[in-house]
Amino acid sequence: MGNPKGFLKIKREPEKHRPAGERVKDFAPVCLPRPAGESRDQAARCMDCGTPFCHWGCPIGNYIPEWNDLMYGGSWERAFELLDAANNLPEVTGRICPAICEFACVLGINDEPVTIRENELAIIEEAFKKGLVKPRPPQKRSGKKVAVIGSGPAGLACADQLNRAGHQVVVFEKDDKIGGLMRYGIPDFKLPKNILDRRIDIWKKEGVEFKTGVEVGTGYEVRGLIKEFDAVVFAGGSRVPRDLKVPGRELPGVHFALEYLVQSNRRVAGEEIPADQLIDAKGKKVVVIGGGDTGADCVGTANRQGAASVLQIEILAKPGECRPPEQPWPKYPFIFKTATSHEEGGERRWSILTKEFKSQNLKVKSIVCAKVDPKCKEIPGTEFEIEADLVLLALGFDPKGKVMTDENYMTSTKGIFAAGDMRRGQSLIVWAIAEGRKAAENVGRYLDGMV
């Protein structure tokens, strides 16, 4: 522990952002890079706890106290080595992870927790700056071939781990570029896509093969996979959104959030969208239904497209500012949070039930709503209407259709495994990475048994 009194002398300094009035005009990153000196100061706040609950809170078991100490001491290379040992995509989690670990930080019991996520980002970006992140192809190949279906965080983490172990890995992706929902579901102002490309280029040089535009099961028969590869890992993401089956749902102008975000990301990347398929918020009264992170991404995107107004509504009650009694430390609490997108404009309302979409000139024009009680039951006599030219449904994803596996992540078919959303259901990116790593470990054991 480099500074045993660091947490007493130094206060938490969260990440800094570009001014809202400036950043809302573009899709460039919201967050500003943190100077190395500030990062070292923040790392000094880590108490090197005897029992570091941040480990317990992190699905991938990041070596948090260890790399904080090394970072404080200026040992960036060693800090990177420990970070790299546990996390395949720290440049992604360092930008968009909700930092479950910080809510489990011991310092957070009676003070502000350590800026673990920002410290993680500082280490990986310093490592790239210093040329520490470079291709390291395995020195020996096993002769075994593995197919990974899906290039989201679970699939990429799995592919990276298996390639490091010396297996030949081919990643199949049905979209035209690698990255899954990291590329097409998360706006550039949160995750610039050059960050993904930078890492993918390294994996290519290490020997991972990527095949895009291939939809396994349609364009490539599963039987062919089984014959060609020694093992197959299905790691598709959650792509089936939860619908809102109320009158008027079919009206033009009512869209799934993911449909809107995917198209926006493609537009930012320079792709042309046919006019009759364009979903644009410019000059429109936008209503986002759903109060989660996806809804917040829609708010930020709509503001950048020049929406006339943006309203986000949620059926649940407004969360409290403090931990609820049933979610004590070190659990991840359901509390009120303000995303950077909310700082940029718009309104939020809670305890609102959506009952019907009304039209004018064959397009959505308003939403019939009502207030609900704490049990989400409609309160009689509270019905009202909200004007809306564009409605975005951000209600999460359909939990059905998960692939059943045993404790070794293997399906009922020998040699076929599943990981990530496809096995666990919709979850956080850090959980997807953990799933991919665990699946790779089990695939490795399976392949070893084939020798």
- Residue among 381, 428, 375 nearest 100 (CA): 428
Q: Which residues contact 227 (CB under 8 A, 6 or more apart)?
A: none
Where is the domain boundary, 99, 129, 159? Answer: 129
CA 153 from chain centre, in angstroms, equals 8
Q: Which residues of the chain have pLDDT under 70?
A: 1-2, 451
Where is the domain boundary, 378, 393, 408? Answer: 393
Rounded to whole angstroms, how far apart are CA atoms 370 and 381? 8
Both 275 and 387 in one domain: the answer is yes
- CATH number for the domain that contains residue 362: 3.50.50.60
Rounded to whole angstroms, how far apart are CA atoms 185 and 162? 26
Instruction: Let me know if residue 278 belongs to a domain.
Output: yes
Rounded to whole angstroms, how far apart are CA atoms 310 and 302? 7
Where is the domain boundary, 129, 163, 190? Answer: 129
Residue 50 pLDDT: 86
Both 264 and 386 in one domain: the answer is yes
Its domain, for residue 286, covers: 254-393
Both 347 and 262 in one domain: the answer is yes
Both 230 and 170 in one domain: the answer is yes
Residue pLDDT, tens place only, 229-254: 999 999 998 888 999 999 999 999 99
Both 39 and 120 in one domain: the answer is yes
Residue 435 pLDDT: 98
Model confidence, pTM? 0.96
Show the tokens assigned to 404: 């059943």
Both 16 and 124 in one domain: the answer is yes
Instruction: Let me know if residue 193 belongs to a domain.
Output: yes
Residue 2 pLDDT: 62
- Residue among 148, 197, 156, 198 nearest 177 (CA): 197
Both 380 and 419 in one domain: the answer is no
Both 359 and 416 in one domain: the answer is no
Rounded to whole angstroms, how far apart are CA atoms 150 and 280? 28
Both 235 and 334 in one domain: the answer is no
Q: Which residues contact 111 (CB under 8 A, 6 or more apart)?
A: 7, 12
Both 386 and 416 in one domain: the answer is no
Instruction: Let me know if residue 138 belongs to a domain.
Output: no
- Indicate the residue type of 2: G
Residue 239 pLDDT: 82
Instruction: Let me know if residue 431 belongs to a domain.
Output: yes
Show the tokens assigned to 194: 């050059």
Cβ proximity of 71 and 122 under 8 Å:
yes
Instruction: Let me know if residue 208 belongs to a domain.
Output: yes
The dihedral region occupied by 182, where left means phi > 0, alpha psi between -120 and 50, and beta the remainder, is alpha
Instruction: Let me know if residue 109 belongs to a domain.
Output: yes
Residue 1 pLDDT: 58
Rounded to whole angstroms, how far apart are CA atoms 302 and 438? 37
Rounded to whole angstroms, how far apart are CA atoms 31 and 25? 15
Domains: count for the chain: 3
Rounded to whole angstroms, how far apart are CA atoms 332 and 319? 13
- CATH number for the domain that contains residue 31: 1.10.1060.10
Instruction: Let me know if residue 171 belongs to a domain.
Output: yes
According to DSSP, the residues that pair with 357 across neighbouring strands are: 367
Instruction: Let me know if residue 139 belongs to a domain.
Output: no
- Indicate the residue type of 319: P
Residue pLDDT, tens place only, 125-170: 999 999 999 999 999 999 999 999 999 999 999 999 999 999 999 9
Both 437 and 328 in one domain: the answer is no
Both 205 and 267 in one domain: the answer is no
Cβ proximity of 111 and 10 under 8 Å:
no
